[in-house]
Structure 1
Amino acid sequence: MFDGVLQNTIIYYASFTDSTMTVAAVDRLVHHAVILEILAPSFRQQAALQRSSSTDQKQPK
Structure 2
Amino acid sequence: MSTPLDDTQLYDITAAMKQLKLSRSVIYELIRTGRLPSVKEGRARRFTANGLREYIALLEKEAQEVA
Please say whether Structure 1 and Structure 2 have the same fold, judged by a TM-score greater than 0.5.
no
TM (norm. structure 1) is 0.30
Higher relative contact order (CA 8 A, sep 6+): 2
Structure having the higher helix fraction is 1
Q: Which has the larger strand fraction?
A: 2
TM-score, normalising length from structure 2?
0.29
